[in-house]
Amino acid sequence: MKATSIVEFVRDTYKTDDFIPLHAPTFEGNEKAYVMETIESTFVSSVGKFVDDFERKIEAYTGTAKAVATVNGTAALHAALYMADVQKGDFVITQALTFVATCNALYHMGADPIFLDVSPMNLGLCPKAVDAFLEESAEVTDAGCLHKQTGRRIKAVVPMHTFGHPVELDELVAVCLKWNIALVEDAAESLGSFYKGKHTGTVGDFGAVSFNGNKIITTGGGGMVLCKTQELGMHTKHVTTTAKVAHPYEFFHDEPGFNYRMPNLNAALGCAQMEVIEQYLKQKRRLAERYADFFNGTDFKFVTEPEYAQSNYWLNAVICPDKESREEILVGTNSSGVMTRPIWQLMHRLPMFENTIRGDLSYSEFIEAHLINLPSTPVEIK
Ligand SMILES: Cc1ncc(COP(=O)(O)O)c(C=O)c1O
């Protein structure tokens, strides 16, 4: 398989000779009308009906007990880790194969990551790797799960649903229960992805979603914390909105808070985008099937959803047979105006995380060296 055939195939799919990005937003519904409504009402900022509407829409769609809108997905994850009581000096187990935001959020809690491998089934954190690491390195005590060598607490496990493909949540829940560790799902990429019928981000104690411009739906910038209970949700809303105690005019804040509020202007965009999410999901599934057919019978392996789950196919991906073909495709497609991208460099290669504890990362390293993301903007395929 050469870059030229991929370029031809993608151009035929999108029916254009123009530049084809990896994932572009589309606004063909009520976006303009709702955004104009916020401007005309002057409620463009941190209060307004669209923020509430958007939170309720996400609750209805995901089935979470309470959704709390935030200014972006990183802020949602930061708030979720705060609510999960991650503290300075704690360890948080996550995957080395992720976008840097996962690690930035825990770093800003004063925690350090422990990097473990991903599963070939879904490219997300492998429950067996987590359990094996804990068996070897941890003990459960009255003070929580402790890392034996350092005595530091292992407070949370943060799996990431890579490109929208759900991780093995039942198994991760069991590991977290066994070791008394919180489960916080980085569901930034997986709005519209379901694990055995449950929406990703709703199985753990908390989940964090992103509405960045490249995600399945966008608010320009935005995020959402999905909370397991009403009570946790109310508290999350409180701390993400400066922890102000409700009063018509007095200012009293009863704990340290964040200003992570999503502006009404952005929430308006989100409400309109939620009206068309089903259409995007259908189009993305059809697009993924088309890629799968295209690569079928070649030595390139198209990444498909695990059999137990329904993925949103946020970013399509293919595993190349070797590093040379990966390079040829990256250079050939990008120089022909069809955007493709390698996966992120593994987190322990970044200067701020290079001295962190890690387990065997063989499969993450293999994926890092072989995987390419393909254009994934939803498109009507006849
Ligand atoms: C895995 C992952 N986590 C977190 C984020 C952070 O989201 P945001 O860009 O909205 O801050 C993103 C996306 O950008 C992501 O892909």
**pLDDT tens for residues 177-235?**
999 999 999 999 999 999 999 999 999 999 999 999 999 999 999 999 999 999 999 99
Q: Are 203 and 195 in contact (CB under 8 A)?
A: yes
State in Å: Cα 188 to ligand 1 middle.
Answer: 5
Q: Is 223 inside a domain boundary?
A: yes
State in Å: Cα 369 to ligand 1 middle.
Answer: 22
pLDDT digits (tens, 9 = 90+) for 154-188: 999 999 999 999 999 999 999 999 999 999 999 99
Q: What is the pLDDT of residue 382?
A: 80
Structure tokens at 288: 């993924």
Neighbour-count burial for 155-172, b at 16+ CB within 10 Å, e otherwise = bbbbbbbbbbbbbbbeeb
Q: Which long-range contacts (CB under 8 A, 24 or more apart) does 134-143 make?
A: 134/175, 134/179, 138/179, 140/179, 140/180
Average pLDDT, the chain: 98
Residue 118 binned pLDDT confidence (cut-offs 50, 70, 90): very high
Q: Is 299 inside a domain boundary?
A: no
Domain holding 52, by residue range, is: 30-275
DSSP code of 110? Answer: T
d(CA 89, CA 301): 41
Q: Is 251 inside a domain boundary?
A: yes
- The answer to whether residue 1 scores a pLDDT higher than 90 is no
Q: Is 254 inside a domain boundary?
A: yes
State in Å: Cα 315 to ligand 1 middle.
Answer: 13
Q: Are 310 and 335 in contact (CB under 8 A)?
A: no
Q: Is 341 inside a domain boundary?
A: no
| Protein residue closest via CA to atom 8 of ligand 1 | 73
Q: Is 230 inside a domain boundary?
A: yes
Q: What is the pLDDT of residue 319?
A: 98
| Protein residue closest via CA to atom 4 of ligand 1 | 101
Enzyme catalytic residues: 215
Q: In what order do the strands lie in the sheet with 371-374?
A: 301-302, 316-319, 371-374, 341-342
Q: Are 243 and 253 in contact (CB under 8 A)?
A: yes
Q: What is the pLDDT of residue 252?
A: 98
Helices (H), 84-180: 100-107, 127-137, 169-179
Percent of the chain with pLDDT over 70: 100
Domain of 75: which CATH number?
Answer: 3.40.640.10
Ligand 1 pocket by C-beta < 6 Å: which residues? 72-74, 77, 98-99, 101-102, 160, 186, 188-189, 210, 212, 223
Q: Is 316 inside a domain boundary?
A: no
DSSP code of 220? Answer: S
Structural domains in the chain (count): 1
Q: Is 287 inside a domain boundary?
A: no
pLDDT digits (tens, 9 = 90+) for 279-301: 999 999 999 999 999 999 999 99
Q: What is the pLDDT of residue 185?
A: 98
Considering the entire predicted model, what is its pTM? 0.98
pLDDT digits (tens, 9 = 90+) for 56-102: 999 999 999 999 999 999 999 999 999 999 999 999 999 999 999 99
